[in-house]
Structure 1
Amino acid sequence: MAESNLILILGDQLSLEISSLKAADKARDRVLLVEVMEEATYVRHHKKKIAFLFSAMRHFAAELEEAGWQVDYVRIDAEENSGSFTGEAERFVERQDPAKVIVTEPGEWRVLEAMKAWPDKLGRPVDILTDGRFICCRAEFETWADGRKQLRMEYFYREMRRKTGLLMAGDEPEGGKWNYDAENRKPASSDLFMPKPLRFEPDEITREVLATVEGRFSDHFGDLEPFCFAVTRKQAEKVLAHFIEVGLARFGDYQDAMLTDEPFLYHSLLSFYLNAGLLDPLHVCRKVEKSYLDGEAPLNAAEGFIRQIIGWREYVRGIYWLKMPGYERENFFENTRNLPEFYWTGDTGMACLRAAIGQTRKEAYAHHIQRLMVTGNFALLAGIDPHQVHEWYLAVYADAYEWVELPNTLGMSQFADGGLLGSKPYAASGNYINKMSDYCQTCRYDVKRKTGEGACPFNALYWDFLVRNREKLQDNPRLRQVYSTWQKMKPDKRREYLDSAGHFLKSLK
């Protein structure tokens, strides 16, 4: 009889189509899933994030067993648990003596580096397979990027449209345009009908996980309950169907909008399940495309959603692997200010930040504009150390994994890579937040006041950011008009802006 192999599946690889499983022999190989302290604590992950992954992993292990796989599962509270992937692989090898180890490439550079040392540590071959869940493999992205002066997502996205055939009319894009983002920037009002997200009652497996997380990670960020995540493939498919039925048609129009009492609006809430492996990205996009083709959703909504998946999601993964290691330490503006304490507590007079952070504490979720133009924008304007910002985003969101979070944070949000991802910093005054949200209506600060006591801090911080980074930004063609406006201001007005910003920054703790 042929020798068995070890098939190690990570917590964000919960797919029956993962390459390591597809390379395995169900009759002889053994599957290993492990809950390890190192992964739960290398940043202090949100309690809901830990609970979601542990529950999804346990349900996936049960699904594999029902399908006839031999599964070894190590829980976080097992006495013999070594606390790391490497330690658990070593323990399995001692127990079962497999011929070799088969894994799908991990999503984080540090884990891949550890795995590269496994042949020596484990004393047997280790096959690290390409992750076939992504449309563009790492080698293909490197080929696309080679020789390009600018790695702009828009051009990459067009290649992915051609490759997949999504929303294509022959060789041309459906509707004659590649991108309908200009139609997707409408502010929302509270009198719109807002669909409620699909919620799931915890079953026995999840309740056991919740008790474990509360016992072992009680000092981590965020609220653990109520816990309503999908934790199985079938439940995740129901979330997808629900979004297509009640949210997709208006997703495009209002994807950038923000409302105080509506944390989800028309967003899909699918990123948790896509990034953990419970849903397949191309399958999701085909479903959305079908809704458009059937006349149930407009083109701007379908295109805007699909662009996030096959465009941006694939693009940032490519950037991550292209630029690691070292990308996580980029700091173009040389920012050193510590992350304010209110990012953890939500205790701030700024209504927009209070709403976004409070929602994050409760749900382990905020949509992309809340992340980019509220918490990210403030950190950029205030000169926060981008590595601290990166670790915060990685910790607090249940859909955050380094491959997707790091480029979004350092590149897009903080411009710490000096413009590799974006053509200009996503910096904005309070006017943008006022236009796209209702936050300013209940804020203690007045968004219409530019400087002085009671003025919205974003207003002075915006100009302070531009002035202190002038040497690095003044030649940016998209900012020349902004700097021209600054030069035309009266000296007293310019001084008021800088004095107001300085006074506010001194108060940050």
Structure 2
Amino acid sequence: MSRVHWLFGDQLGPHFTATSAGGTPRNTRWLLIESRAVFRRHRFHRAKAHLVLSAMRHRAAELGESATYVAAQTYRQGLAEAVGDAPVSVHHPTSRAALALVASLPQVTVHPPRGFLVGHREFAEWAARQKGHRLLQENLYEHTRRAHGILMEGDRPAGGRWNLDHDNREPPPRGRATLGAPPPYRPREDEIDEEVRRDLDRWEREDGVAFVGNDGPRLFPASRREALAALDHFAAHRLRGFGAHEDAMLAADPVMSHSLLSSSLNLGLLDPRECVQRAEDAWRAGQVPLSSAEGFIRQVCGWREYVWNLYWYLGDDYRHRNDLGHTAPIPAWFAELDADAVGARCLSTVLAQVRDTGWTHHIPRLMVLGSHALQRGWDPAQVTDWFHRCFVDGYDWVMLPNVVGMSQYADGGLMTTKPYTSGGAYIHRMSDLCTGCRYRPADRTGDRACPYTVGYWSFLHRHRARLEGNARMTQAVRGLDRLADLPQVVARHHDAGEAPP
């Protein structure tokens, strides 16, 4: 008698269909359910909807006759149609909503999560050992590397230091429009992609499903074969140049040397173990500098593991944190990805990247999009939802800590030691996005006052009482006292309202 195992749309790699010993269990039927209600509840970026559905259908095709693929209005309906009330197993889902759903179904047995290096119990035990209960990412990163023997030389980190981040903060090369990295791997669409696109067209036309952003051609892997090809291509051709400029931005080169593997990891097409091993192998073979290998590995087994475990450890109340009291709604131009309405070149450029691809790398997310939202005082719950819906790699577990904690400082410093926001000077130093802009990064007043510079000082003024006791913010807050034009700066910020800058 065969057993049925349910694969969610972000559990699509072989590590979700293998036994603990690595083989594929016999007499198992795989169930994939496509829920239309998910797309009715949330207005996703169309490229994201296309990628997820394409990946699910590609996986079903790979599994062949052993897979049952059901398109239904809801997960409950799909489960009833496929198996009735017969028993089903599933690996721990990646969202609290999905976990609550499977936990409410008496026929479903939930197995431990896969696709991550650090388990919930291990994280809780690690957290209990942390001094002052400060859950610092760098401490978890060290723990994970020790536990899994990642980039180690005996009991010491390779190169003698755990973190080479100070080597990876160089501004972009001046006078160059691109970094000059080899182009990234891009997949070729097939008949499954055509079928998905037709279905999305029909949903919009007949079923009232609405999307945002542009779709096509597909830019990210939707199958295990494509994901492995993307990993191999990155390690062989792009990892070498990744480290030094990973925090830099170029208007004409949005991908630079970034891996573009986050969507494949978060769909479950790649396992983090194979990603970090591939990078470490490239370093040990002398193909890439240690700073590049370590920088990439830190993102995968450092930050990604940290965010995943914080999502579960901090509890569902974390999503409602709003310690700065920000309540302004996201304006329509931002929600609609209307880059053409924006005059500030940095924000317009990054919004256009999101509109056209559903992706931009971590610094534009944090220091252009997130920083503007923080300075304007937008509701962090709305900002989190926007990031979740508009990015191809965005999931609830990904965006909740990244936005509430890292980007919007809505947890009051539980996750980070200071707000991540800046004036135009930072963007000017780390990008070419100020070149040709109607605004000047150093100007606080006048017609050419940079909205980020104005927003930065207004943010500090607005939250001075809270921030002046923060050791990392003391010098910045004291800078307010040197601004003779502070009243005009604050007034300009207030008068801007929610109009696009």
TM-score bracket for the superposition, by shorter chain length: over 0.9
For the 8 Å contact 1:43–1:394, the answer to whether it is kept is no
Q: Distance in 2 between matches of 1:370 and 1:217?
A: 30
What is aligned with 1:110?
Answer: 97
SS in 2 for 1:440: coil
SS in 2 for 1:439: coil
For the 8 Å contact 1:372–1:413, the answer to whether it is kept is yes
- Equivalent residue for 2:353, pick from 354, 359, 363: 359
Residue 205 of structure 1 and its aligned partner are, at CA, apart by: 1.2
Q: 1:301 to 1:217 in 2, by over 3 A?
A: farther
Residue 22 of structure 1 and its aligned partner are, at CA, apart by: 5.8
The C-alpha deviation readout for 1:57-83, integer Å capped at 9, x for no partner, is: 111112112xxx6211013xxxxx2x2
What is aligned with 2:199?
Answer: 212
Residue 268 of structure 1 and its aligned partner are, at CA, apart by: 0.4
SS in 2 for 1:102: strand
Report matched runs for 1:240-279 at 5 Å. 240-279=231-270
Q: Distance in 2 between matches of 1:165 and 1:27?
A: 32
- Equivalent residue for 1:470, pick from 445, 457, 464: 464
Q: Check if 1:10 corresponds to 2:4.
A: no
Q: Check if 1:303 corresponds to 2:299.
A: no
What is aligned with 1:49?
Answer: 48
Q: 1:326 to 1:456 in 2, by over 3 A?
A: same
The C-alpha deviation readout for 1:81-131, integer Å capped at 9, x for no partner, is: 2x222222222232xx53x21000110001111111100xxxx3x210111
Residue 216 of structure 1 and its aligned partner are, at CA, apart by: 1.5
Q: Distance in 2 between matches of 1:435 and 1:137?
A: 39
The C-alpha deviation readout for 1:420-472, integer Å capped at 9, x for no partner, is: 11000001001111111111112111212122222101111111111111222
What is aligned with 1:499?
Answer: 491
What is aligned with 1:78?
Answer: none
Amino acid at match of 1:341: A
Amino acid at match of 1:282: R
Q: Distance in 1 between matches of 2:262 and 2:473?
A: 33
Q: Distance in 1 between matches of 2:25 and 2:300?
A: 32
What is aligned with 1:155?
Answer: 139
Residue 195 of structure 1 and its aligned partner are, at CA, apart by: 2.0
SS in 2 for 1:268: coil
SS in 1 for 2:32: strand
Q: Distance in 2 between matches of 1:147 and 1:29?
A: 41
- Equivalent residue for 2:127, pick from 145, 159, 171: 145
What is aligned with 2:75?
Answer: 85
Q: Distance in 2 between matches of 1:140 and 1:43?
A: 33
Long gaps (5+) in structure 2: none
Q: Distance in 1 between matches of 2:234 and 2:218?
A: 19
Residue 231 of structure 1 and its aligned partner are, at CA, apart by: 1.6
SS in 2 for 1:32: strand
- Equivalent residue for 1:187, pick from 148, 168, 171: 171
What is aligned with 2:153?
Answer: 169
Q: Distance in 2 between matches of 1:40 and 1:506?
A: 28
SS in 2 for 1:103: strand
Q: Distance in 2 between matches of 1:191 and 1:482?
A: 33
Q: Check if 1:136 corresponds to 2:118.
A: yes
Residue 19 of structure 1 and its aligned partner are, at CA, apart by: 6.2
Q: Distance in 1 between matches of 2:461 and 2:469?
A: 13
Q: 1:165 to 1:446 in 2, by over 3 A?
A: same
Q: Distance in 2 between matches of 1:501 and 1:270?
A: 38
What is aligned with 1:72?
Answer: 68
SS in 1 for 2:429: helix
Residue 341 of structure 1 and its aligned partner are, at CA, apart by: 2.1
Amino acid at match of 1:251: F
Runs of 4+ in 1 over 6 A off after TM superposition: none
- Equivalent residue for 1:201, pick from 188, 191, 197: 188
Q: Distance in 1 between matches of 2:3 and 2:465?
A: 57
Stretch of structure 1 that moved more, 22-31 or 285-294: 22-31
Amino acid at match of 2:105: W
Root-mean-square deviation over aligned CA pairs: 1.8
Amino acid at match of 2:226: Q
Q: 1:293 to 1:25 in 2, by over 3 A?
A: closer
SS in 2 for 1:35: strand
Q: Distance in 2 between matches of 1:221 and 1:21?
A: 39
For the 8 Å contact 1:214–1:224, the answer to whether it is kept is no
Q: Distance in 1 between matches of 2:81 and 2:368?
A: 45
SS in 2 for 1:419: coil
Identity among equivalent positions (%) equals: 37
Q: Distance in 2 between matches of 1:25 and 1:468?
A: 57
| Length-normalised TM-score, structure 1 | 0.92
What is aligned with 1:480?
Answer: 474
Q: 1:29 to 1:213 in 2, by over 3 A?
A: same
Stretch of structure 1 that moved more, 52-61 or 144-153: 144-153
For the 8 Å contact 2:331–2:498, the answer to whether it is kept is no
Q: Distance in 1 between matches of 2:37 and 2:113?
A: 23
The C-alpha deviation readout for 1:195-243, integer Å capped at 9, x for no partner, is: 2122222111111111112322474111112223322111111111111
For the 8 Å contact 1:460–1:501, the answer to whether it is kept is yes
